[in-house]
Amino acid sequence: MDINNRLSRCESWYRMLDMFMQENTPSIDEVIKKICEKVKQFIPVQYTGIYYYDAWKNGYSLKTDDSALEKMAVETLPASIVAKEDPWEAGKELFLSTSSLQAMLIPLRDEEKKVGFLFTAADYFSDWCRREANSIAEEISGQLRALSNYIHTAKTNYNNQILYQVTSSFHASINTKEVLEEVIATLKDVYPGFDYYLFLSQEFPGADDLPTKELIYNDNVTNRVSVHAFLTGDVQYEQLAEACESNLYIPLKGKQGVYGVLQICASTVITFPAEDVEFISLLANEAGNAMENARLYQQSKQLIEDLQLINETSHTLNSNLRLIETTTFMNRQIKDKFGAEEIGFILFKEDSQDEYEVLDGSTDYFLSRSAKQFLGNTLELLKRQHDAVFIGDFSIKYPEIRLPYHSVMAIPMVQSKQVKGAIFVLHPDAYYFSFEAFKLIQSLVHHSTLAFVNSMLREQLEHLVITDYLTSLYSRKYLDERLQEHLSEDEQGAFLLIDIDDFKKFNDTYGHELGDELIIQVATIIKGHLGAEDFAARWGGEELAVYLPNASTEDGMDTAHQLVKQVEAFTEPTVTISIGVSYWNKGQEQHSDNVFDRADEALYQAKELGKNCVVKAKCIGEPK
């Protein structure tokens, strides 16, 4: 009879199990409820339940088809009962209140591992009932083992399918935001009962739309579990009993580093099963690799853009630009690429490393008086360390220096191991410039330094060509060219031809060296009387010349008389000068030679009149 009963039960178990296995993802809860129904058909008991091992709770939870039993018995099997070798008689201990019912608790084993306990309660258990219950427990163990293997295989296949789909999606995307959104969406689909957050180590475009948290890893917070997961690259688990929550931290790892941490939050104290942690880790690793690939792609793309910028900048700077053209072009490049608010171009003077010049093309701040302390301190630092300065918040590092800008980049222009100057880039926001921007602007300055030096040398050479070496006044040739331009463009003008009186006698008396010094003294006095548009030249020997654009006859005569008085008063040894003044206006046909000749004739008359005086030349057509 027992054998027939057992065969009948096995056939019933088989049909039940086969029915559940027709489903893609059979529910273990539904299977156990069905098992409980059948147990009550096989043996005379009033209540049946199974305490089944729940990996998420790391304990044995009651599952039954009878709601009355759920109210009568403990929800979770105490650890003290689980540890017993023979817990048969411990069933009575599971009632929440005193009961007259008898109870049996029979282990359900998968080899040596306890996968659950069959719990039955009745008014009375006969010996036959006890034997049958024990046999039924063995049969249930086999059924649960087969079902568990099936569920495990189905879950593994399902997870692998998800991993394949997600990995394919990741490999098709170079957008970090899309990758992270896919991770969160997949996990919410597989594990809908949790909350998900991302600790990201770097800023990504569009990351503000994701459930992100700030990843702070300084000396004060190294004990945080999220930071530990990021720094070690290992999965971390956190149970907060007081807050009644559990957190799992899984690093988003690529081949070259860790790019963030995925936080999974449970609103109850649970244990994350190793199998599920492994699946989530695989998903996170795929996400980390995808983020890394997207980052590398963006870096490669950025590198190409940076190289194009450097190439374009170098090409333009090497096209023989003037210095103002060079600074204007660099100003535009830096503003467009880095969003700088203030840009300064500083050059040290050749004869003194302590003196500097703010070049045209610099923004207004560097031309203000308030910039002097900042420039002085920073330039001294550049000269001392021969290296660039990169400061995220200037007010914190140098609180004693008043500067309305927080982000500071100062890159020295080094040529032949000498600091020729520096380029300053400022922004009012703290930490505005990235380290990548700092490295790029270093490259730009490195490639532009030679162009700056060449532009300066070119302008210096041009200045030497048009300048008299002794007096630093313009050369006669340059004055002639400039005068011809003014004759064609201006309405009028005055020309002064100046000669130092008795200069040959002075040279014979004091020597040529002192004679040269005297010419320099007279030239210096002349330069002190020049307006913004006026220019002077050394005409030849002891003769000097001044042209006053758009000046009237009276303006020319006034300037000439002042020069005569000043030279006599402030030269040492004292000398005098004679000046011939010629004037022209638009109504007259003029040529530079005509203006020169009339001034020369007036100078001759001044000499005839006794020197140390001024004579105005007659206008064209005026009788001599």
Q: Strand ranges (DSSP E) for 332-471?
A: 342-349, 352-358, 389-391, 407-415, 418-427
SS3 breakdown of the chain: % helix, strand, coil, rounded to 5?
A: 50, 25, 25
DSSP 73: B
DSSP 586: T
Extract the tokens encoding 613: 């005086």
Strands 577-585 and 212-214: what pairing?
unpaired
Strands 492-500 and 535-540: what pairing?
unpaired
Residues in CB range of 321: below 8 A, 6 or more apart: 329, 451, 455
Confirm whether 70 is a catalytic residue: no
Distance of CA 462 to the CA centre of its chain: 43
Extract the tokens encoding 591: 């040529």
Q: Are residues 203 and 177 in contact, defined by beta-carbon separation less than 8 angstroms?
A: no
Q: Which residues is 97 bridged to in the sheet?
A: none
**Catalytic member of 132, 286, 542, 543:** 542
Extract the tokens encoding 391: 């400061």
Residue 377, Cβ density class (10 Å: 0-12 exposed, 13-18 middle, ≥19 buried): middle
Q: Are residues 502 and 610 in contact, defined by beta-carbon separation less than 8 angstroms?
A: no
Q: Are residues 47 and 137 in contact, defined by beta-carbon separation less than 8 angstroms?
A: no
Extract the tokens encoding 72: 């009568």
Catalytic residues: 542
